[in-house]
Amino acid sequence: MRRAFADTLIRLAGENDRVVFLTGDLGYGTFEKFQERFGPRYVNVGVAEAQMMCAAAGLALAGWHPVVYSIASFATARAFEQVRLCISYHDLPVVIVGAGGGYLYASSGVTHHAADDLGLMSIIPAMTVVAPADPIEVAELLPQILQLPGPAYIRIGKYGEPALDASERPALGRARCVRDGTDVLVLTTGDMAGVALSALSALAGEAIYPLLYQMHTVKPLDTLTLDRLAGRVNSVAVVEEHVPAGGLWAAVCDWHASHPEHRLRLRRIGAPDAHVLGSPGREELRRRIHCDAASIERIVREMWTGTEVERQSISMGEVGHWR
């Protein structure tokens, strides 16, 4: 995803001389081509994320179209007040890019965990919130995000994520069908789409064929597609590398609460409402919190067959700390 982001940003900056890129002393080995080609439009503010947001706001007020880049936890939690007051309050077209959302940097400890980034950005008024699944979604959605009149946040992963085999091209604000099916609807956001796809591919051998939709746009949520799909399924599983509050799960619950006629069973597969202590690797962490392919496979099978067991408290949300 990061290579797709860097390449797409270079193309867009070549087409629009008002695009300016700001980084918080990150991206070495990724953005040198941008710096070489556009010179002054590459700004490294140093380890000063809050100031970076203020600078981006000033540039936007002066007619520039800033794109700011940092590790997701630093771009959202550390600079939250500046995003809210300097950018959102003035409804400025600043694109905030959070690299390594969720637990991508799990082994670096809690300072680098960003399992709340989508929620933090979603509660900011007029903020569009996007979590692509693969390089294709990054390349297709970034130009659309740059056309927005107000602020946006986009969570991107790392290098090497496989491209989803989906017939629909990514469109901002519209869910993307990855796999058709019946009975159970699996909703994903971010790179959990690839993990869920692996799980559903395994289930196909058991003649279990759920629908899989990638909700790359968390805010605004594509409720029209959800309304349409609600008549085809009896259960919905929401898969996200995010805490229960503020992410895709919360948005889907809000939608469902306003449509009691759908009478759907909802199940969440995601991060706990807890701080993760220690420094486990991302894959090990996903396994422990039941957010890996094997766990998705098991839970969706239970939903399909109607044999759901007691929900795992750690995956549904455990208050406090978890190790």
Domains and CATH numbers, the chain: 2-156 (3.40.50.970), 176-322 (3.40.50.920)
Beta bridge partners of 153: 96, 129
| Residue 7 scores a pLDDT above 60 | yes
Strand 128-130 versus strand 217-219 pairing type: antiparallel
Cis peptide bond N-terminal to 220, omega within 30: yes
Give the confidence band of 308 by pLDDT, cuts at 50, 70, 90: low
The better pLDDT of the pair 161, 141 is held by 141
Beta carbons of 98 and 58 less than 8 angstroms apart:
no
pLDDT of residue 187: 98
Q: State the Cα–Cα distance between residues 69 and 264, nearest whole angstrom.
A: 39
Q: How confident is the model at residue 285 (pLDDT cuts 50, 70, 90)?
A: very high
pLDDT at position 320 is 46
Give the pLDDT confidence of 108-128 residue by residue, as tens digits: 999 999 999 999 999 999 999
Query: For residue 159, what pLDDT band results from cuts at 50, 70 and 90?
Result: confident
Give the position of tokens 């809000």: 254
**Distance linking the first and last C-alpha atoms of the chain:** 29
Q: What pLDDT is attached to residue 108?
A: 92
Q: Which two tokens stand for residue 64?
A: 């520039």
Using pLDDT thresholds of 50, 70 and 90, give the confidence band for residue 316. Answer: very low
- Looking at 17-21, 92-96, 141-145, 307-311, which range is the least confident one? 307-311
Decide if pLDDT at 313 tops 50: no
Task: Tell whether the model's pLDDT for residue 306 goes beyond 60.
Answer: yes
Q: Which residue in this structure is represented by tokens 């007619």?
A: 63
d(CA 77, CA 14) in angstroms, rounded, equals 31
Helices (H) and strands (E) in the chain, counts: 13, 14
Q: Provide the pLDDT for residue 168.
A: 85
Q: Considering only CA atoms, which of 153, 148, 93 is closest in space to residue 118? A: 153
Mean pLDDT of the chain: 93
Q: Quick one: DSSP state of residue 277? A: P
Indicate if the pLDDT at residue 310 is higher than 70.
no
How far is it, in rounded angstroms, from Cα 90 to Cα 86? 7
pLDDT digits (tens, 9 = 90+) for 193-222: 999 999 999 999 999 999 999 999 999 999
Residue 140 has pLDDT above 90, yes or no: yes
Q: d(Cα 309, Cα 306) in Å, to the nearest integer?
A: 9
How many other C-beta atoms are found inside a 10 Å radius of the C-beta of residue 258?
Answer: 9
- Quote the CA–CA distance of 58 and 62 in Å, as a whole number: 6
Q: Within its chain, how far is the Cα of 202 from the centroid?
A: 24
pLDDT computed for residue 317 by the predictor:
38
User: Tell me: the pLDDT tens digits for 10-36?
Assistant: 999 999 999 999 999 998 888 999 999
- Does position 311 have pLDDT exceeding 60, yes or no? no
